């Protein structure tokens, strides 16, 4: 009789434990993607994006494009069990903002309960470099040691993360030499001469702006630009003057942001170009750290792993030794 009572007690304990496990509920929490992203793909690429969440019961998934739930078609598909979004043949047609929704559902005394979690947005774009519009050649005149700028104008649409802008000498089919930082190409593709020299004169060639995409293995060449430099004997130092900056830059959290500046000016002592210094909004000079890095010529300040606390005004100044 004693044995039977012990067995019944064990059975009752097991039933209670099992019932307690079935009542465990955990709302979905999306693990991936965990931050906003912008992703670029070449034309006709196969795209596969993961959405992963934990939760009890096991979450199911759906995807939204530009706020609208995607109905599976031949262009965009997703797996409601694995969470993967796939686009077999990516084109401009599939560009947009995509968000994953992970959901768990269970029944209780009041009815069916659904808990959902929405992922950060993922923006998908097709890499492309379209042709320059036809335009007449341009001519720019400048005195030697003065500042000059050639515009990379009449560009077609340019989209991508691996876009490069270079300038070329038309007759020599070679890259324009940046001459130790005397020349600089900004984010818009424009070519700056901190000071021009007679050798920049285009008597035997023309300048061409070229835009390329590494992933698409494509380069587009712009229109012809002439630079006429009037020689100046016995140059003297020229005070620096800010000619360009890309103020008002915006960036996603955790991204890398690039701040640029170009000063004109001439120093009679090497390296002749103005020395550039960067400062924060408290007036403290910025030095290279994990947060801040510089291009070799210090015209570019990179702010790494951007956070809200990085929203501020940065200052830049340049110096030459005036005689």
Say which CATH number the domain at 176 has.
2.60.40.10
Q: Does residue 228 sit in the same domain as residue 259?
A: no
The pLDDT value recorded for residue 5 is 40
Same domain, 35 and 104: yes
Same domain (yes/no): 87, 143 = no
In Å, what is the CA distance from 322 to each residue of 244, 273, 274? 22, 12, 11
pLDDT for the residue numbered 322: 62
Boundary residue ending a domain (235, 259, 281):
235
Three-class DSSP category at 20: helix
pLDDT of residue 19: 42
The answer to whether position 5 is within a domain reads no
Whether residue 300 sits in one domain with residue 268: yes
**What number of H helices and E strands is found in the chain?**
1, 27
The whole domain housing 283 covers 236-323
Tell me the three state secondary structure of residue 149. Answer: strand
Distance in angstroms (rounded) separating the CA atoms of residues 48 and 310: 33
Is residue 189 situated within a structural domain?
Answer: yes
- Cβ atoms of 59 and 104 closer than 8 Å: yes
Per-residue model confidence (pLDDT) at position 63? 96
Distance (Å, rounded) from C-alpha 322 to C-alpha 223? 38
pTM metric for this prediction: 0.78
- Nearest partner of 237 among 263, 200, 195, 265, judged by Cα: 265
Q: Are strands 138-143 and 218-230 parallel, antiparallel or unpaired?
A: parallel
Q: Are 132 and 165 spatial neighbours (Cβ–Cβ below 8 Å)?
A: no
Residue 87 lies in a domain: yes
122-126 and 37-41 beta bridge pairing: parallel
Q: Is residue 6 part of a domain?
A: no
Last residue of a domain, one of 213, 235, 257: 235
Domain presence at residue 19: no
pLDDT score, position 113 = 82
Q: Which candidate, 54, 73, 159, 55, places its Cα nearest to that of 63?
A: 73
- Stated length of the chain: 323
Are 52 and 97 in a shared domain?
yes
Domain boundary among 179, 207, 235: 235
Q: Please check whether residue 265 is in contact with residue 236, taking contact to mean a CB–CB distance below 8 angstroms.
A: no
Task: Tally Cβ neighbours within 10 Å of residue 14.
Answer: 10
What is the domain count for the chain? 3
Q: What is the pLDDT along the chain (323 residues), one digit of tens a residue?
A: 444 343 333 333 333 333 444 567 889 999 999 999 999 999 999 999 999 999 999 999 999 999 999 987 779 999 999 999 999 999 999 999 999 999 998 877 777 788 999 999 999 999 999 999 999 999 999 999 999 999 999 999 999 989 999 999 986 678 999 999 999 999 999 999 999 999 999 988 999 999 999 988 889 999 999 999 999 999 999 999 999 999 999 888 888 999 999 999 999 888 899 999 999 999 999 999 999 999 999 999 999 999 999 999 999 999 887 65
- For position 171, what pLDDT does the model report? 67
Residues 119, 217 within the same domain: no
Single out the residue of 177, 206, 182 nearest to residue 192, CA to CA: 182
* Confidence (pLDDT) at 49: 97
Residue 14, domain member (yes or no): no
CA 65, 70, 76, 81 torsion: positive or negative? positive
CB atoms within 10 A of CB 167: 21
CA distances from 291 to 23, 37, 282, 305 (A): 47, 20, 17, 7
Pair 183, 93 in one domain = no
d(CA 83, CA 32): 10
Beta-bridge partners for 51: none
């Amino acid at each position: 009789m004693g044995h039977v009572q012990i067995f019944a007690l064990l059975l009752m304990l097991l039933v209670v434990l099992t019932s307690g496990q079935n009542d465990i509920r955990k709302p979905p929490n999306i693990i991936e993607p965990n931050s906003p992203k912008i992703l670029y793909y070449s034309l006709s690429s196969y795209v596969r994006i993961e959405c992963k969440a934990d939760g009890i019961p096991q979450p199911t998934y759906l995807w939204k494009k530009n706020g609208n739930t995607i109905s599976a078609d031949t262009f965009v598909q997703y797996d409601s069990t694995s969470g993967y979004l796939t686009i077999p043949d990516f084109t401009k047609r599939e560009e947009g903002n995509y968000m994953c929704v992970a959901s768990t559902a269970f029944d209780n005394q009041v009815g069916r309960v659904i808990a959902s979690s929405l992922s950060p947005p993922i923006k998908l774009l097709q890499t492309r470099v379209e042709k320059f519009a036809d335009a007449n050649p341009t001519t720019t005149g400048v005195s030697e040691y003065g500042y000059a700028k050639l515009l990379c104008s009449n560009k077609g649409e340019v989209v991508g993360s691996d876009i490069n802008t270079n300038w070329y000498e038309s007759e020599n089919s070679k890259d324009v030499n940046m001459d130790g930082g005397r020349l600089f190409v900004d984010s818009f593709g424009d070519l700056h001469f901190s000071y021009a020299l007679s050798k920049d004169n285009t008597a035997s060639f023309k300048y061409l702006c070229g835009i390329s995409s590494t992933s698409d293995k494509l380069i587009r060449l712009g229109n012809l630009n002439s630079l006429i430099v009037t020689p100046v004997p016995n140059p003297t130092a020229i005070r620096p003057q800010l000619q360009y900056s890309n103020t008002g830059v915006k960036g996603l959290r955790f991204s890398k942001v690039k701040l640029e500046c170009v000063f004109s000016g001439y120093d009679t002592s090497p390296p002749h170009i103005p020395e550039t210094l960067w400062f924060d909004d408290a007036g403290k000079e910025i030095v290279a750290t994990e947060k801040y890095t510089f291009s070799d010529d210090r015209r570019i300040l990179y702010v790494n792993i951007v956070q809200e606390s990085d929203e501020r005004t940065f200052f830049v100044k340049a110096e030459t030794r005036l005689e």
